[in-house]
């Protein structure tokens, strides 16, 4: 008997907005400062925040419980202070994943003198025994393929991204039965499981063994998070 696929669309226009002087964050899911019906966490996926930081500004991160934070720069690079006395610079084409402790504060800094930066902040529930920090690289110049941002075993969260030309098709096979997949369009437009998705729209899918998609615009960029 076929299992019914459960799907929910998260439109860009209905995201929550948090804004301070020099910082702006659009929230796909419920987050401190934003709560709405139907915006609960998707399994281990707690947050997908689309954030902008003006030149020479900084943003402080605090969490209420242990979680993983994944930072993926979209425009420019970001300076990240995870450990005291050291800083990581994460550029476009890279992602930083680290364990966030509720007893600590983490700082994000835009080091550029004039340019605004844009990045995704993804939060994942986790046990606090995992590795503390990991940097990965991916190259979107290699088009029309999905590339791993982070991938691992059964209990790990798998994140993939890819840039596609207009009318190019792609497919993602769920690695572990029972996992869900959250699809997020970074740029352009896609058709995903017969659903139109435009820039910064999200789509959660459960009970789907294979995710088929087609780019509807040139240089469209897609992100998939299997949880």
In contact, 185 and 200? CB cutoff 8 Å: yes
Same domain, 78 and 146: no
The number of beta carbons lying within 10 Å of the beta carbon of residue 54 is 15
Same domain, 115 and 178: no
The residue segments making up the domain with residue 102 are 15-137
1: pLDDT strictly greater than 70: no
Q: Please tell me the distance from the alpha carbon of residue 227 to that of residue 206, in angstroms, as a whole number.
A: 10
pLDDT of amino acid 128: 62
CA distances from 90 to 50, 77, 115, 136, 203 (A): 16, 5, 15, 9, 27
Same domain, 152 and 221: yes
Q: Considering just the CA atoms, what is the radius of gyration of the chain in Å?
A: 17
Same domain, 46 and 151: no
pTM value is 0.95
Q: Please tell me the distance from the alpha carbon of residue 36 to that of residue 129, in angstroms, as a whole number.
A: 32
45 or 1, which is more confident: 45
CA distances from 47 to 32, 42, 162, 196 (A): 10, 9, 21, 22
pLDDT digits (tens, 9 = 90+) for 29-43: 999 888 999 999 999
Domain count, the chain: 2
pLDDT of amino acid 217: 98
Same domain, 109 and 149: no
DSSP 8-class letter at 4? P
Same domain, 26 and 105: yes
Average pLDDT estimate for 143-148: 98
Is residue 128 domain-resident? yes
Same domain, 84 and 182: no
155: pLDDT strictly greater than 70: no
pLDDT digits (tens, 9 = 90+) for 86-120: 899 999 999 999 999 999 999 999 999 999 999 99
Same domain, 75 and 112: yes
Give the domain CATH number at 102.
2.60.120.10
Q: Which residue among 109, 137, 165 closes a domain?
A: 137
pLDDT confidence tier of residue 124, bands split at 50, 70 and 90: very high
Same domain, 79 and 104: yes
């Amino acid at each position: 008997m076929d299992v019914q696929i459960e799907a929910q669309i998260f439109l860009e226009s209905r995201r929550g907005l948090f804004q301070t002087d020099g910082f702006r964050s659009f929230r796909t899911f419920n987050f401190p400062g934003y709560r709405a019906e139907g915006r609960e966490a998707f399994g281990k996926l707690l947050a997908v925040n689309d954030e902008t930081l003006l030149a020479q500004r900084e943003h402080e991160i605090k969490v209420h419980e242990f979680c993983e934070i994944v930072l993926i720069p979209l425009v420019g690079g970001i300076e990240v202070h995870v450990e005291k006395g050291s800083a990581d610079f994460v550029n476009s084409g890279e992602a930083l994943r680290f364990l966030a402790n509720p007893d600590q504060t983490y700082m994000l800094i835009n080091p550029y003198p004039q340019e605004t930066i844009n990045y995704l902040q993804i939060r994942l529930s986790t046990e606090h025994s995992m590795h503390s920090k990991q940097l990965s690289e991916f190259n979107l110049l290699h088009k029309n393929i999905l590339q791993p941002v982070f991938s691992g075993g059964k209990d790990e969260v798998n994140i993939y991204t890819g840039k596609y030309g207009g009318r190019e098709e792609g497919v993602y096979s769920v690695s572990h039965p029972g996992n869900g997949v959250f699809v997020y369009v970074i740029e352009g437009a896609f058709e995903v499981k017969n659903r139109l998705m435009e820039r910064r729209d999200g789509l959660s899918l459960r009970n789907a063994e294979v995710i088929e998609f087609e780019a509807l615009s040139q240089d469209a960029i897609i992100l998939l998070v299997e949880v």
